[in-house]
Amino acid sequence: MLLVAVGGLVSMVLIGLAFFRVDFAGGGVHFAARFDFQSWLQRLPSNLPWVLPFMVLAATAPALRAIVWGRTVPAPVPAWRQRYRALALGGLINNTVPGHLGIFAASWFLFRGTGTPLPAALSSLLLTKLLEFGALVTFTSALAVVAHLRGLHQVPAGPMLAIGFTALVVFTVVLVGARRWAPRLSRRLLAAGRLRRLAAGLDTVAHGLVAVGSPRRLLAGWLLAGGPVVVATMAYGMALWWMGVGPFLLGGGLLLGALTFAQLTPGLPTTVGIYYLVCTSAARALGVEDDRAATLAVLTHVATATTNVLVGLVAALLNHHRLRELFRFRGVMNAPVPSTPH
């Protein structure tokens, strides 16, 4: 609880930096408003022309990720509809239940709906995220080269890409290592008659990472993972265009990369604060004024969360899920697996 409280306080401070600047002159700490808050509030409704299309683009994310997930989940591959429903419900849980449980929730809903073993569903979804992250690193690298050639040096793309490539290598090594060593450890545990449940779980995790051993499936998944990246770039680029940024698609891609690389530790209480800090800092580096940078951070955050909740609610209602059960996600984790997929 102490860590959560401290993290929440740090997050609030980081969010506050979108609206206030800190001055250490005179031997003390002074806070000054970056802009007039009341006028800023009055101008917020004028951003609806880009917020609504932003939400439409954000709503396509579960559908596009479901396609990529189909390249990583082990056979028998659940139907696209089942994968989409799981991701949509996972987005709902991620934005309504504390703990940032979206990935685990989506895996659990696929397990509940199709009988795909939970470790296999989770490991294959993590692989899907890795492929999307790899596509983002590649896309952002290309944009950084273009930015350099065009003389756009405001955004520090070098350190950003170094962090991204390092994280990509680490995640890849972990997943490939799990695919290679988990079955061996599982066999040793079974031979020794120890920790049979752990042994079964390790074997299932390795089964869920079956695509790691298939270069063709990985290449196809990586190419398909470019879809969510391009759509997200278009969404942020459209917002930057509305705010007067010239190379708006280039800026959208760099902004998306900065936001993603800065949040490589999901689940921490400071995640929202880091989003606001990086979003406003990157926007100001691209030439956006202070008040519009704060607008970008607030409205993209609210629009994304609202879209995920609405898409998840629609998926829940269409599939006759009880909302009370969904919001008690932590408590229904141990419910039995259905005997037949639905």
Give 3-state DSSP helix, strand, coil % of the chain, rounded to 5.
75, 0, 20
Token digits of residue 147: 């930015």
Query: 3-class SS at 20?
Result: strand
Helix orientation angle between 80-94 and 290-318, rounded to the nearest 10 degrees: 130
Please give the Cα distance from 70 to 68 (Å, whole number).
5
Q: Per-residue confidence of the chain (342 residues) as pLDDT tens digits?
A: 666 677 678 888 888 888 998 877 666 677 888 899 999 999 999 999 999 999 999 999 999 999 999 988 888 889 999 999 999 999 998 888 777 778 888 998 998 889 888 878 888 888 888 888 888 878 877 777 777 676 665 555 566 566 556 666 766 676 666 666 666 776 676 676 666 665 655 566 666 666 666 777 778 888 898 899 999 999 999 999 998 887 777 778 878 877 776 655 555 556 788 888 888 988 888 889 999 999 999 999 999 999 999 999 999 888 776 666 666 655 544 444 443 343
List CB contacts of 301: < 8 A, sequence separation 6 or more: 272, 275, 276, 279
Q: How far is CA 53 from the centre of its chain?
A: 19
Each residue's pLDDT tens digit, 43-88? 999 999 999 999 999 999 999 999 999 988 888 889 999 999 999 9
Specify the pLDDT at position 318: 87
Token digits of residue 109: 């809903």
